[in-house]
């Protein structure tokens, strides 16, 4: 208890509690001191072991004393190992607590900043503002649509009426063309051929008789 009292103060009611950073720093320094103590004891244990081996056959009394000192050093070394384990655990717990404290501190700082940012904000005013923005956007869209429409110089026409008038004009033009085709004297008609069609020449009676004679002559020669 005296060691921890020396490290962390008296701990009385009037004493000020150390900060986590101070306690962590003290623990690290103590761990370094105990680590050096470990190295020292390990060297002493090695030396006593060599002394015991050297005097084992020549001076048993000196060898036994060396082994006793070796045992004491080993016991101290074991105690330091346990102390270091405890201090490491305590330091890690303090580091985690310090990290959590810093996290909570920063979160509280951020919460205060957010509260200050919202301090002059009213949800009703925000709703009104968003409504105004929406109306202005709609107005801007209407203006854009109006600007993009073709300008008619103040004249407006019905597209259906224009199409109907155009169809009437086309029909009138078509009727005039049909009348010109049906009644115009200038349209050339096909002329009647001036030459007569060739007619088939009829055989005379004499030609028929000559053909019959030729046929009979041919039949007689074939016999």
Report percent pLDDT > 70 for the chain: 74
Q: Is 11 left (phi over 0), alpha (psi -120 to 50) or beta?
A: left
The whole-number pLDDT of residue 2 equals 45
| Chain segment 126-141, per-residue pLDDT in tens | 788 888 899 899 989 8
The whole-number pLDDT of residue 161 equals 82
Quick one: average pLDDT of 13-37? 86
**Structural domain 20-119, CATH architecture:** Orthogonal Bundle (1.10)
| Chain segment 45-65, per-residue pLDDT in tens | 999 999 998 888 788 898 899
Averaged confidence pLDDT in the chain: 79
Question: pLDDT: is 153 or 99 the higher one?
Answer: 99
Show me where the domains of the chain are located: 20-119
| Chain segment 157-177, per-residue pLDDT in tens | 678 887 888 888 888 888 888
* Secondary structure (H, E, C), 19-88: CHHHHHHHHHHHHHHHHHHHHHHHHHHHHHHHHHHHCCCCCHHHHHHHHHHHHHHHHHHHHHHHHHHHHH
Q: What is the DSSP string of 191-207?
A: PPPSSPPPPPPPPPHHH
The whole-number pLDDT of residue 157 equals 65
């Amino acid at each position: 208890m005296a060691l921890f009292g020396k490290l962390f103060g008296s701990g009385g009611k009037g004493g000020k509690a150390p900060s986590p950073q101070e306690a962590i720093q003290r623990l690290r320094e103590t761990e370094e001191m105990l680590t050096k103590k470990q190295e020292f004891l390990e060297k002493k244990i090695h030396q006593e072991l060599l002394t015991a081996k050297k005097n084992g056959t020549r001076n048993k009394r000196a060898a036994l004393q060396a082994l006793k000192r070796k045992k004491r050093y080993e016991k101290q070394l074991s105690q330091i190992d346990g102390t270091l384990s405890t201090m490491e655990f305590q330091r890690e717990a303090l580091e985690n607590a310090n990290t959590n404290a810093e996290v909570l501190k920063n979160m509280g700082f951020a919460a205060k900043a957010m509260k200050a940012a919202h301090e002059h904000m009213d949800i009703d005013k925000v709703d009104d503002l968003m409504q105004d923005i929406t109306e202005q956007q709609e107005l801007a869209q209407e203006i854009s649509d109006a600007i993009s429409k073709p300008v008619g110089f103040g004249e407006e026409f019905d597209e259906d009426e224009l199409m109907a008038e155009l169809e009437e004009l086309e029909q009138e033009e078509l009727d005039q063309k049909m009348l010109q085709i049906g009644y115009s004297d200038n349209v050339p008609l096909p002329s009647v051929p001036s030459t007569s069609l060739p007619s088939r020449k009829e055989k005379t009676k004499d030609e028929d008789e000559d053909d019959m004679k030729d046929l009979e002559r041919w039949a007689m020669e074939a016999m």
